[in-house]
Structure 1
Amino acid sequence: MRATTSFNKMLALPALTVTNVTVGNGTVILDIRHTRPLLRCPCGWSTRVVHSRSTRRWRHLDCFGMKTVLQGEIRRLSCRSCGRVVIEDIPWARPRARHTIEFEQLVAWWTQRSDRTTVATALRVDWETVTTIISRVVAEQLTDARFDGLTRLGVDEISYAKGHRFLTIVVDQTSGATLWVGEGKNAATLGRFYELLGPERCKKIEAVSMDMAYAYPAATRKATNATICWDPFHVVMVRHEALCVRGRVRDPPCWSVVADR
């Protein structure tokens, strides 16, 4: 079996065929060619007329431990629908991307399970490339549909940069899915989430659990029908502190005896 035939079977990418295979310096370069005659604009309009051509490379999933690169011609068209000269829709890569969709999905999967530096080292790409890919994948797949049917929310913050910076995290208490992450931990930060949610969805929120700081309850007023629920950890902590204060005020001798023991 010829190498091109083997790679065509292994790749199984839409609308392309492998015409040549070059191996060298730890890299597999696959020359590819479009198989569909029509040029399709991202807006949906199609034509057979090519405005201009150029060559582009896309990083693909590694093959036998070697970097795999697709190299092929991209065509531009003058779209009569949107009035622009644009690059045709590429089925195997996202717009303006230099990596295939499969490679970007792999980066996104690993980033959910490890830090970006580790992912960049393992996949042999730059740290900035990982960041760019994450932004592109999230922008495509994170839609407002995740806000439909929400009734119970959980809000909390986490710190990073040695405790000097904070992120506010909102989760769906029913499914456990993370809905939104925003920089900061004040009322304005959480307010951005409720603005994104919209007034109609806010009315359907029945309960929001959070800690006992002032900022989050103030922002949650936008969810007019929501009951604010203090999380058990902070309730127990406040109760414990109150009992300690009461004990010190009412029965100081008892505390001194316990301390002596």
Structure 2
Amino acid sequence: MNIDDTETRVDIRIRSKGKVEHICPDCGCSCEGYDKRERTWQHMDFFDMECHLHCAVPRMECPKCGKVMLVDVPWAQENSGFTLLFEAKGVELMKEMSVNAAGRYLGVTDKRLWRVLDKHVEERMKHQDLSELDRFYVDETSCRRGHRYVSIFVDEDHNIIFVTNGNDASSVARFREHLEAHGSKASNVKFICCDMGKGFLSGIKNEFPGAVVTYDRYHVIQHMSLAVDRARRHEWNVLREGGGRLKDATKLKGQRFFLLRNVENLSPSQKERVDWILESHKETVSYTD
């Protein structure tokens, strides 16, 4: 082990002792190493110092299938410049912060961390079993400036099962392809929850025609809240411009959040205001009933 005080870095060299028999991962044939290749992996920091592992990894040629390959090492995956522990730390950090921030914390570029994340996600997705899936939820979220969105599909336990670019009908089509590639089919899906976006609804109609669609509560309440506020504004303008009822118009102004709040959360004075509105302004009442 070498410690460089000036660079605050630790370098650890790993050597094998004696002759080691190697097994071909494809055919299981016994192989012997015939030369070595120097490899380096970044490891977890050692006493707040950057740590790297070095090892001359044997290269072997299988006598049966003829493949030439480097021997697998137990501390890192094939073609990775990081140890398994370093990758695990990176994945945990990326759950809690952006990839760019995780890269700054670990002292590596975000591009290298993206490759780690993509590899681990791809590995997990290979073993995903959706054969029992009979319902899913889909929503969109912004991923960058300029109205760029991704669609997120989750199961009833709110586990993410698929993410894809866009928020239109093609996003739903790509999810169906993913579903069928992982042990299920569109006819198995009985219930779908989504927002009222035309893209999702069009895609669901084409790809999952037999499913019952339910609008998620958040968007239903959002539309209802906007309708209540539009009615309140309209009635306020009518009272204000009609003349003779300026006092009533003043009372109605600024009452938006009282109308949208749960009744049990209102103070006595606030509840009194809401009761007055419900009794005096029938157009607004028609939206709150």
- The TM-score with structure 2 as length reference comes to 0.73
2:277 is aligned to none
1:136 is aligned to 119
Q: What SS does the aligned partner of 2:57 have?
A: strand
**Structure-1 separation of matches of 2:13 and 2:235:** 84
Query: Per the alignment, do residues 190 and 83 of structure 1 end up closer, same or farther by CA in structure 2, a change over 3 Å counting?
Result: farther
Larger radius of gyration: 2
Shift in Å, 1:41: 3.3
Say yes or no: does 1:32 pair with 2:32: no
User: Identity of counterpart residues, as a percentage?
Assistant: 23
Query: Per the alignment, do residues 85 and 240 of structure 1 end up closer, same or farther by CA in structure 2, a change over 3 Å counting?
Result: same
**Structure-2 separation of matches of 1:153 and 1:255:** 48
Say yes or no: does 1:78 pair with 2:58: no
For residue 223 of structure 1, what is the amino acid of its counterpart?
Answer: F
1:97 is aligned to 80
1:218 is aligned to 202
1:57 is aligned to 40
Summarize deviations over 1:199-220 as a string: whole Å, max 9, x none.
8432222211101112112222
Query: Per the alignment, do residues 251 and 121 of structure 1 end up closer, same or farther by CA in structure 2, a change over 3 Å counting?
Result: closer
1:235 is aligned to 220
**Structure-1 separation of matches of 2:51 and 2:237:** 74
Query: Per the alignment, do residues 227 and 22 of structure 1 end up closer, same or farther by CA in structure 2, a change over 3 Å counting?
Result: same
Q: What CA RMSD, in Å, does the superposition of the two structures yield over aligned residues?
A: 2.8
Say yes or no: does 1:190 pair with 2:172: yes
Q: What SS does the aligned partner of 2:33 have?
A: coil
Summarize deviations over 1:23-49 as a string: whole Å, max 9, x none.
113122111124681223342534332
**Structure-2 separation of matches of 1:242 and 1:106:** 48
**Structure-2 separation of matches of 1:184 and 1:50:** 49
Say yes or no: does 1:209 pair with 2:193: yes
Asked if the contact 1:116–1:127 (Cα under 8 Å) also holds between the matched residues in 2, the reply is yes
Asked if the contact 1:45–1:81 (Cα under 8 Å) also holds between the matched residues in 2, the reply is no
Q: Name which of 16, 24, 31 aligns with 1:41.
A: 24
Report the number of matched residues: 240
Shift in Å, 1:235: 2.2
1:118 is aligned to 101
Query: Per the alignment, do residues 34 and 189 of structure 1 end up closer, same or farther by CA in structure 2, a change over 3 Å counting?
Result: farther
Gaps of 5+ in 2: 252-289
**Structure-2 separation of matches of 1:244 and 1:57:** 63
Q: What SS does the aligned partner of 2:96 have?
A: coil
Q: Name which of 88, 91, 94 aligns with 2:71.
A: 88
1:23 is aligned to 3
**Structure-2 separation of matches of 1:124 and 1:104:** 13
**Structure-2 separation of matches of 1:97 and 1:255:** 70
2:141 is aligned to 158
Q: What SS does the aligned partner of 2:15 have?
A: strand
**Structure-1 separation of matches of 2:138 and 2:202:** 13
Shift in Å, 1:112: 0.7
243-252 vs 97-106, which deviates more?
Answer: 243-252
- The TM-score with structure 1 as length reference comes to 0.80
**Structure-1 separation of matches of 2:226 and 2:10:** 65
The structure with more strand, counted as a fraction of residues: 1
Query: Per the alignment, do residues 102 and 79 of structure 1 end up closer, same or farther by CA in structure 2, a change over 3 Å counting?
Result: same
**Structure-2 separation of matches of 1:32 and 1:245:** 71
62-71 vs 136-145, which deviates more?
Answer: 136-145
Summarize deviations over 1:95-154 as a string: whole Å, max 9, x none.
100111111111011101111222112111122211121112222223342424222211
Gaps of 5+ in 1: 1-20
